[in-house]
């Protein structure tokens, strides 16, 4: 149970309120945007391999439908709750508006630790959850995607379940699918690639040579693992990484390629048990406080609070995760001159390539990986430059600047469509 101070939905509302105040948003628009438009809670049974049955709880929240169909991932985690899903849905609205793709925000989650399920149980849970939320999702309504602990295989099962109900293949109902069943080249790496592009852009704008940057990455899954690998390819020295089982540090730089090969062989893709000459273990708490140039949180919310923010020794924090920094920590970072490239900007690469996947699926015309990556780079660099200009004009941190851009766009479409039926 998180404290009210670390309640992700309260935090999302606080972040929105700050932008709404600066933009002087009309009260009725503010009231609309401050809360999700639709919320669905589902309780559904899953049969276990041993014949027993358990009821699971899941959610799908649609925050705002003003700019188009809603978009956002599905998370499987034991700590999922409605306020977390509300916050994640709201952040999706601002993220899609910031990179200017034609979606509102949504998110879903199931309260489950998938590590405790067999493949068969995971498939049955996924298909039943997909059926329960099928009243909301669809290619022109709400298009889910992967998030923590959900994979391309899980996306394929959801696509297949919806297709079974419709009687034909409904490719564009979900993104992050395997390439063989309508996924996009480049989607798997897209969020991590976007994070690495943000590091490069920050370095360019601060006269830093990427090849001299020491990087620390928390979380070694889809976002953190890919970001670490691409930053290593770019020439950075990745000195520490971690996952849920702990952290690994080597001052001269880790061999990320070897670590990714190790996790690929591990049944749950974990770093647990990894050893190499010169590599020492450390806790996640210690990892976040290492001196470094770039710190990439790529795990869960509330990693930086008022308790550890005074001890963080990075020049820039590039938020691969959603919601890793509380408003208290943000204020401390601002005072201390630590730049934060905010989640709604830094991790927008995933939803951007999801948008490309949806467009390709609707047209049944698929792009090359080079085309996908070039379009992703264009979108991410453009969003970074816009946020930077806004930050300079308004003398505000990048998070506030990104919110100003995003909230203004969403408010504008809300008012243009008209509020009252």
Ligand X SMILES: NC(=O)C1=CN([C@@H]2O[C@H](COP(=O)(O)OP(=O)(O)OC[C@H]3O[C@@H](n4cnc5c(N)ncnc54)[C@H](O)[C@@H]3O)[C@@H](O)[C@H]2O)C=CC1
Q: What is the C-alpha separation between 257 and 244, in angstroms, rounded?
A: 19
Nearer to ligand AKG, 66 or 183 (CB): 183
State the binding site for substrate.
71, 95, 354
Q: Residue 244 touches which of ligand AKG, ligand X, none (CB < 5 to 8 A by kind)? A: ligand X
322 lies in the binding site for ligand AKG (CB under 6 A): yes
Residue of the chain from 271, 351, 407, 410 that contacts ligand AKG (CB under 6 A): 351
Within 10 angstroms of residue 140's Cβ, the number of other Cβ atoms is 10
With CB under 6 A as the contact rule, which of the stretches 130-138, 166-174, 292-300, 407-415 interacts with ligand X?
292-300
With CB under 6 A as the contact rule, which of the stretches 6-14, 112-120, 140-148, 366-374 interacts with ligand X?
140-148
DSSP string, 271-300: -TT---TT-EEE-HHHHHTS--SEEEE-S-
Nearer to ligand AKG, 18 or 177 (CB): 177
Nearer to ligand X, 179 or 244 (CB): 244
Q: What is the C-alpha separation between 298 and 172, in angstroms, rounded?
A: 27
With CB under 6 A as the contact rule, which of the stretches 67-75, 286-294, 333-341, 387-395 interacts with ligand AKG?
67-75
| Pure H helices in 62-186 | 82-98, 119-133, 152-166
Tokens 């298009």 appear where? 143
Residue tagged active-site, from 18, 47, 54, 107: 107
Q: Lay out the sheet containing 237-243: strands in order across.
A: 280-282, 246-249, 237-243, 214-218, 294-297, 316-318, 339-341
Nearer to ligand AKG, 126 or 322 (CB): 322
- For 314, residues 6+ apart whose C-beta sits below 8 A from its C-beta are 216, 291, 292, 293, 294, 295, 338
Q: Residue 320 touches which of ligand AKG, ligand X, none (CB < 5 to 8 A by kind)? A: ligand X
148 lies in the binding site for ligand AKG (CB under 6 A): no
By three-state DSSP, how is residue 113 classified?
Answer: coil
Nearer to ligand X, 62 or 222 (CB): 222
Nearer to ligand X, 25 or 294 (CB): 294
Q: What's the start-to-end Cα distance of the chain, in Å?
A: 39
With CB under 6 A as the contact rule, which of the stretches 160-168, 261-269, 343-351, 364-372 interacts with ligand AKG?
343-351
Distances (CA, A) of 87 to 32, 142, 244, 252: 15, 17, 22, 38
Query: CB of residue 148 vs ligand X: minimum separation in angstroms?
Result: 4
Tokens of 307: 């308790």
- For 163, residues 6+ apart whose C-beta sits below 8 A from its C-beta are 169, 170, 173
Query: CB of residue 402 vs ligand X: minimum separation in angstroms?
Result: 14
Number of residues that bind ligand X (CB under 6 A): 24
Q: Residue 321 touches which of ligand X, ligand AKG, none (CB < 5 to 8 A by kind)? A: ligand X
**Of 201-240, which residues contact ligand X (CB under 6 A)?**
218-224
390 is catalytic: no
Q: What is the C-alpha separation between 369 and 184, in angstroms, rounded?
A: 8
Residue of the chain from 19, 299, 340, 410 that contacts ligand X (CB under 6 A): 299
Residues making contact with ligand AKG (CB under 6 A): 71-73, 95, 145, 147, 175-176, 322, 347, 350-351, 354
Report, as residue numbers or ranges, the catalytic residues. 107
């Amino acid at each position: 149970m998180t404290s009210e101070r670390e309640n992700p939905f309260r935090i999302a509302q606080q972040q929105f309120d700050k932008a709404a105040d600066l933009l002087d948003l009309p009260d009725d628009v503010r009231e609309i945007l401050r809360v999700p438009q639709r919320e669905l809670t589902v309780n559904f049974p899953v049969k276990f391999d041993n014949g027993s049955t358990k009821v699971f709880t899941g959610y799908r929240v649609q925050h705002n439908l003003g700019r188009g169909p809603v978009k956002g991932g599905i998370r499987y985690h034991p700590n999922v709750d409605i306020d977390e899903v509300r916050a994640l849905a709201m952040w999706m609205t601002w993220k899609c508006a910031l990179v200017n793709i034609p979606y509102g925000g949504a998110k879903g989650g199931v309260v489950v630790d998938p590590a405790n399920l067999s493949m068969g149980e995971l498939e049955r849970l996924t298909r039943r959850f997909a059926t329960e939320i099928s009243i909301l999702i669809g290619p022109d309504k709400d298009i889910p995607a992967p998030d923590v602990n959900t994979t391309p295989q899980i996306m394929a099962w959801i696509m297949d379940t919806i297709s079974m109900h419709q009687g034909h293949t409904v490719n564009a109902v979900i993104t992050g699918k395997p390439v063989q069943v309508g996924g996009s080249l480049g989607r798997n790496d897209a969020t991590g690639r976007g994070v690495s592009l943000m590091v490069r852009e920050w370095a360019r704008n601060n006269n830093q040579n990427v090849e001299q940057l020491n990087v620390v990455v928390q979380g070694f899954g889809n976002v953190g693992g890919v970001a670490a690998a691409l930053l290593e390819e770019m020439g950075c020295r990745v000195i520490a990484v971690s996952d849920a089982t702990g952290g690994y540090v080597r001052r001269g730089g880790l061999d990320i390629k070897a670590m990714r090969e190790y996790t690929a062989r591990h049944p749950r893709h974990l770093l647990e048990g990894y050893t190499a000459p010169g590599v020492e273990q450390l806790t996640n708490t210690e990892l976040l406080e290492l001196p470094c140039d770039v710190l990439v949180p790529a795990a869960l919310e509330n990693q930086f609070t008022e308790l550890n923010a005074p001890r963080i020794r990075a020049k820039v924090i590039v938020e691969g995760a959603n919601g890793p920094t509380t408003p208290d920590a943000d204020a401390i970072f601002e005072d201390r001159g630590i730049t934060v490239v905010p989640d709604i900007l830094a991790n927008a690469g995933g939803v951007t390539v999801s948008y490309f996947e949806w467009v390709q699926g609707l047209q049944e015309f698929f792009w090359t990986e080079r085309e996908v990556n070039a379009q992703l780079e264009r979108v991410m660099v453009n969003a970074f430059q816009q946020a930077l200009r806004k930050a300079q004009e308004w003398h505000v941190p990048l998070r506030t600047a990104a919110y100003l851009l995003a909230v203004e766009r969403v408010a504008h479409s809300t008012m243009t469509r008209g509020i009252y039926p």
